[in-house]
Amino acid sequence: MDVNMVLFDDFEGMDVFGPAEILGKLQKYYHIRYLSVSGDVINSVQGAKIWTDFLIPGEIEGVLLIPGGKGARRLLWQDERTLNLVKRAAENADTCLMVGSGSAVLAQTGLLYRRKLADCPLDKNWNRMFTAGIERIEGARVVADGKYYSCSSTASGLDMTLWMVADQIDIDVAQEAARQTGYPWDSCGGEEIYC
Amino acid sequence: MDVNMVLFDDFEGMDVFGPAEILGKLQKYYHIRYLSVSGDVINSVQGAKIWTDFLIPGEIEGVLLIPGGKGARRLLWQDERTLNLVKRAAENADTCLMVGSGSAVLAQTGLLYRRKLADCPLDKNWNRMFTAGIERIEGARVVADGKYYSCSSTASGLDMTLWMVADQIDIDVAQEAARQTGYPWDSCGGEEIYC
């Protein structure tokens, strides 16, 4: 299955490379692609320059991952064209993963209307402007609502990815990937909410 | 302080981008550089292509981080020139961080003779060939011995980085960075060993 990472300038690096670490241990099942609207070199918040291919919404299938980070805020305010492409890509994807403030990006496209999302520290303006008609589950680290998975922070992107693997393949496979990564994943944890 | 990430083809992505995530929250103190011997685009195990600058050992100061991954094995067997440059860079650095099998790379240069290292799953041949004269602390997630910090896995690279921040700046600063990342760091944990 393709996993399409949507990169934009000033994305939070580990929002992408944390989930990639888990899925990279499962190459039998997942193939990771790094995409952007410009198809060019993209800078993470942490100053890494990543080579990307073009995001072509019509070619998207499988999983779409949207990271958070400072750049997410810029997308929301200034970049209608990218939002449109991301919306179409998300419509085509079978599963959408959103890390931290990445959920605000997809919320802004209207796709998450009446969906449940994980809690995520946004400032008050963000919350008022970008999450009307959306139910944030207070204290939830990971939430899945239909094909939409969201999580509260960079590190919980690992939990979210592991839950997706458990749903799509098997919980034993997810547990083994967590073990190989050395990540203390609590697969019996009660914070995850499935709607 | 500079943090010099040493990249090589087939490095484990989160070994670099996990620590970068923590240190990127502390830009007042740390400046991250992505370096390689070829100064070219480098591929992670997870297929990300990262733009790097040249690793020039004489210019290294501050922190040097060496990731693990499939590429580390290739370095050990085939790449004397890179090992030499990494050795000189490590000698110049004030602090060396080694994630997972990254410690085998530095062990092979001879710099870790009689040092204590965190436990790390290597196959028997690796252990025999590359860790003679080195003491692995069984079950230890993070070990610091003088300027050399090592850790057992990809995820424990976050713990190691947080401990380094606690040592160099303040434990409150480290705890705040962990909180912002959403990483459940146990700063009272008993698995870390300082020599």
Q: What are the chain A neighbours of B11 within 8 Å (beta carbons)?
A: none
Residue A171: the pLDDT is 94
Residue A77: the pLDDT is 77
Shortest distance between the Cα of A74 and any Cα of chain B, in A, equals 19
Rounded (10°) angle between helices A13-24 and B13-24: 160
CA distance A164 to B86: 38
Instruction: Tell me the three state secondary structure of residue B136.
Output: strand
AA identity, residue B165: V
Least confident of A56-60, B83-87, B123-127, B154-158: B123-127
Shortest distance between the Cα of A83 and any Cα of chain B, in A, equals 23
Percent of chain B with pLDDT over 70: 92
Tokens 């401990």 belong to residue: B163
Residue A4: the pLDDT is 98
Predicted-complex ipTM score: 0.93
Tokens matching residue A29: 């099942």
Residue B195: the pLDDT is 62
Q: Which chain B residue lies closest to A185 (C-alpha atoms)?
A: B184
Tokens matching residue B45: 């195990």
Average pLDDT on B156-185 reads 95
- Helix then strand then coil, in percent of chain B rounded to 5, is 40, 25, 40
Shortest distance between the Cα of B1 and any Cα of chain A, in A, equals 14
* pLDDT tens digit sequence for A127-185: 666 667 888 888 889 999 999 999 999 999 999 999 999 999 999 999 999 999 999 89
| Residue A36: how many other CB atoms lie within 10 Å | 22
Residue A121: the pLDDT is 73
CB contact under 8 A, B20 and A46: yes
Task: Judge contact between A93 and A74, C-beta under 8 A.
Answer: no
Q: What are the chain A neighbours of B181 within 8 Å (beta carbons)?
A: 14, 153-155
Residue B73: the pLDDT is 86
Residue B188: the pLDDT is 74
* pLDDT tens digit sequence for A86-129: 999 999 999 999 999 999 999 989 999 999 999 887 666 666 66
With a cut of 80, say whether residue B125 has pLDDT above it.
no
CB within 8 Å of chain A, chain B residues 126-165: 141, 152-156, 158
Alpha carbon of residue B55 to chain centroid: 15
Residue A96: the pLDDT is 98
Residue A128: the pLDDT is 65
Chain B CB within 8 Å of residue A176 CB: no
Q: Which chain A residue lies closest to B183 (C-alpha atoms)?
A: A155
Q: Which ranges in B11-135 belong to alpha helices (H)? A: 13-24, 70-78, 80-92, 102-108, 124-130
**What CATH architecture applies to the domain B2-194?**
3-Layer(aba) Sandwich (3.40)
Tokens matching residue B146: 């003088």
Least confident of A128-137, B119-128, B132-141: B119-128
Q: What are the chain A neighbours of B18 within 8 Å (beta carbons)?
A: 14, 17-18
Tokens matching residue A137: 């589950």
**Where do the structural domains in chain B lie, given as residue ranges?**
2-194
Average pLDDT on B61-66 reads 98
Shortest distance between the Cα of B150 and any Cα of chain A, in A, equals 14
Tokens matching residue A39: 């198809």
Residue A150: the pLDDT is 96
CB within 8 Å of chain B, chain A residues 91-110: 100
Residue among A17, A32, A153 whose CB faces B181 most closely: A153
Residue among B12, B32, B51 whose CB faces A46 most closely: B32
Residue among A12, A34, A46 whose CB faces B48 most closely: A34
